[in-house]
Amino acid sequence: MTRILVFPGQGSQAVGMGAELFRAFPHEVAFADAILGYSIEELCLKDSQKRLHRTEFTQPALFVVNALSYLHAVEREGARPDFAVGHSLGEYNALFAAGAFDFITGLRLVQRRGQLMGRADGGVMAAVVGLTDDQVARCLRDVGNEEMDIASLNSPDQTVISGAASAFERVEAALLAAGAHQVVRLKVSAAFHSRYMRSAEDEFARFLSQFEFSSLDFPVVSNLHATPYALEAIHTCLAGQMSKAVRWTETIQWLARQPEPRFEELGPAKVLTPLIQSILRRSPSARARTA
């Protein structure tokens, strides 16, 4: 059996997440509070200042909860996985689990990423359900190619688009006319994984250059290329990920070709498991299971 750990990204957050983890890992929680300058436990469990859904707070919170979920799983099961993968922000947790960097370094990276991405505003993201990625790309070419990009290839019939708010209604109408079942706007503040993140990507690349990463204990499959990370590519992949599409469908298809693959999602919610199941149903040769 090939054990594959999966970590979710932004959008999986909810007040109350990690309730069972903070007391179990007091040292990591104390480090997080010191780095962030606020109580991560209060943010996740109470969110009294209504900040959890703001990108600069969401991303560190999710990294911490995902990381503690992984540490808890290791304590409980005493075994590491054969592969790890994460969706967008979740990729940092996959790399943390594989030993590319420690908890403190990962949190610092994610904190800066969230700050830079949180600066952008005015964009829109939406999940398009019921069309293939080729059909979505065709609609964008016809009516929104200069203003919207494909941000994530989530499953064979779900594609996320991202771009200028001014183009959304025009693109939405074209997608529905082409046969989309739904076009659902996402609760995000900016056009992530699109051309509108390029200035943030450049600044983040300069920040990343200060860090050196360790060899991976097990393979992590990259959002950017849908193939396992090479050590020398970590800097460029983490920076490039900000403005380019998450190739989730291809990633899961690649992993599904491993011997007896078993996917196990860690984190605050099983938001990726239904997508994985949808991908596996459309892959006749896949004999994978989800936990």
- Residues 278/156, Cβ–Cβ less than 8 Å: yes
Contact 69, 21 (CB under 8 A): yes
Active-site residue, 152 included: no
Catalytic residue among 88, 152, 155, 194: 88
Q: Other C-beta atoms within 10 Å of 26: how many?
A: 10
CA gap 99, 106 in Å, rounded: 10
Residue 115: its H or E element: helix 103-119
Q: 119-150 in b/e burial notation, b at 16+ Cβ within 10 A?
A: ebeebbbbbbbbbebebbbebbeebbeebbbb
Q: What is the DSSP string of 18-66?
A: TTTTTTT-HHHHHHHHHHHTS-HHHHHHT-TTS-TTSHHHHHHHHHHHH
Q: Which amino acid is at 151?
A: A
Distance CA 207, CA 11 (A): 25
Structure tokens, 176? 């529905």
Of the residues 193, 194, 222, 243, which is catalytic?
193
193 tagged catalytic: yes
Structure tokens at 56: 């600069």
Residue 167 structure tokens = 């183009």
Q: Which H or E run includes 205?
A: helix 198-208
CB 184 within 8 A of CB 68: no
Q: Which residues are catalytic?
A: 88, 193
